[in-house]
Amino acid sequence: MLFKKIAPLFPTLAGVLWGLTGIFVRNLNGIGIDNFHLAFFRSLFAAVSLIIFFLITDKKQLRIEVKDLWCFFGTGILSVFSFSVCYFYTLMHSSVSVAVILAYTAPFFVILLSAIIFREKITAVKLVALFIATLGCFLLCKTDKNTPITAVVIIIGLLAGLSYALYSIFARFVVGKYPPLVITAYTFIFSSVGSAFLADFHSFASAVSAHPASILTVILFSFVSTLMPYLLLTIGLKYVEAGKAAILTTTEVLTASLVGILFFHEKITAAGILGIILILAAVVLINIKLSGKDL
Q: Which of 211, 245, 240 is nearest to 229 (CA)?
A: 245
Distance from C-alpha of 176 to C-alpha of 173, rounded to nearest angstrom: 8
Mean pLDDT to the nearest integer, 189-202: 88
Distance from C-alpha of 253 to C-alpha of 14, rounded to nearest angstrom: 12
> Mean pLDDT score of the chain, rounded to an integer?
83
Distance from C-alpha of 24 to C-alpha of 42, rounded to nearest angstrom: 11
Distance from C-alpha of 82 to C-alpha of 78, rounded to nearest angstrom: 6
**Residue 138 DSSP code:** H
* Full DSSP string of 241-283: -HHHHHHHTTHHHHHHHHHHHHHH-----HHHHHHHHHHHHHH
Q: pLDDT higher for 243 or 68?
A: 68
Q: Which of 45, 76, 10, 18 is nearest to 233 (CA)?
A: 10
Q: Quick check: is 200 in a domain?
A: yes
pLDDT tens digits for 253-287? 778 878 888 888 777 778 878 877 887 787 777 66
Taking only Cα atoms into account, the Rg of the chain, rounded to an integer number of angstroms, comes to 19
Q: Quick check: is 5 in a domain?
A: no
Query: Which of the residue ranges 37-51, 138-152, 277-291 has the most confident prediction, judged by mean pLDDT?
Result: 37-51
Using the predicted structure, report yes or no on whether residue 48 has a pLDDT greater than 90.
yes
Using the predicted structure, report yes or no on whether residue 22 has a pLDDT greater than 90.
no
Say if CB 165 and CB 113 are below 8 A apart: yes
Q: Where in the sequence is the domain holding 102, given as residue range(s)?
A: 21-121+149-238+254-267
Say if CB 145 and CB 269 are below 8 A apart: no
Distance from C-alpha of 149 to C-alpha of 34, rounded to nearest angstrom: 21
Q: Which of 72, 76, 90, 134 is nearest to 282 (CA)?
A: 134
**Residue 147 DSSP code:** S
pLDDT tens digits for 82-106? 998 898 888 888 877 778 778 878 7
Q: Quick check: is 71 in a domain?
A: yes
- How many residues are recorded in the chain? 295
Q: Quick check: is 39 in a domain?
A: yes
Q: Quick check: is 283 in a domain?
A: no
pLDDT tens digits for 202-250? 888 898 899 999 999 999 999 999 888 888 887 777 777 665 676 677 7
Determine how many CB atoms are found less than 10 A away from the CB of residue 239. Answer: 15
Give the amino acid at 261: I
Looking at residue 162, its pLDDT comes to 93
Q: Quick check: is 141 in a domain?
A: no
Using the predicted structure, report yes or no on whether residue 289 has a pLDDT greater than 80.
no
Using the predicted structure, report yes or no on whether residue 294 has a pLDDT greater than 80.
no
Q: pLDDT higher for 97 or 193?
A: 193
24-41: string of b/e by CB count within 10 Å (b at 16+)?
bbbebbeeebbbbbbbbb
Q: Which of 217, 190, 241, 235 is nearest to 40 (CA)?
A: 190
Number of domains in the chain: 1
Q: Quick check: is 169 in a domain?
A: yes
Q: Which of 113, 138, 108 is nearest to 287 (CA)?
A: 108
Using the predicted structure, report yes or no on whether residue 163 has a pLDDT greater than 90.
yes
Say if CB 214 and CB 207 are below 8 A apart: yes
Q: Quick check: is 136 in a domain?
A: no
With the C-alpha atoms ordered 2, 183, 49, 31, is the resulting torsion angle positive or negative? negative
What's the half-sphere exposure (Cβ side, CA atoms, 13 Å) at 223?
A: 6
Looking at residue 132, its pLDDT comes to 83
- Which band of pLDDT confidence, cut at 50, 70 and 90, is reported for residue 108? confident
Looking at residue 212, its pLDDT comes to 92
Looking at residue 147, its pLDDT comes to 61
Mean pLDDT to the nearest integer, 192-211: 88
